[in-house]
Amino acid sequence: MSIIDALYQDAILTHYRRPRNRGVPPTFDIEQEGVNPSCGDEVTLYLSIDNGKLASLSFTGQGCAISQAAASMMTEAASGRSIDDVRRLALAFTAMLRGEEPSEELGELALLKSVAKVPARVKCAALPFVTLLRALEPLT
Ligand code: ZN
């Protein structure tokens, strides 16, 4: 199996074809756009914050399978966690994309590990998480 084949594992394609938490929710607290010009990927995140927690996270966007699957996986992994946990998750994910071993809390997101071997696609997988960190920046 080539590296590119490995990238398009079933789980990634499933998230791309049937994304979770996709769409603009009726109410939200923070809206944050992100773009990856090198591939043309776009994501917009919608966050609801409640009592120091990321109560819900939805997204809209377009782009390659990796960027959109990563966004879908991220919404499942990050929803319901404390803001600190969400930041830690995002940093663990970007560390994995730099070649570090995935930490346990990444769960299904560890499936995107092979992206680290394809430098051109690292920004695709990182886009949703970089955008999420930016959205959380104003929160202490
Ligand atoms: Zn892309």
Give the residue from 79, 61, 73, 77 showing the smallest Cα distance to 112. Answer: 73
Ligand 1: centre distance to CA 119 (Å): 11
Ligand 1: centre distance to CA 7 (Å): 12
Mean pLDDT score across all residues of the chain: 92
Ligand 1: centre distance to CA 122 (Å): 8
- Joined together, the tokens standing for residue 97 give 């994309």
Ligand 1: centre distance to CA 73 (Å): 15
pTM as predicted:
0.92
Ligand 1: centre distance to CA 9 (Å): 16
Using alpha carbons, list the distances in angstroms from residue 106 to 28, 36, 41, 95, 111: 25, 22, 22, 11, 9
- The better pLDDT of the pair 47, 5 is held by 47
Spatial separation of the C-alpha atoms in residues 73 and 20, rounded to whole Å: 7
pLDDT tens per residue across span 48-90: 999 999 999 999 999 999 999 999 999 999 999 999 999 999 9
Residue 31 has pLDDT above 80, yes or no: yes
- Joined together, the tokens standing for residue 32 give 């944050």
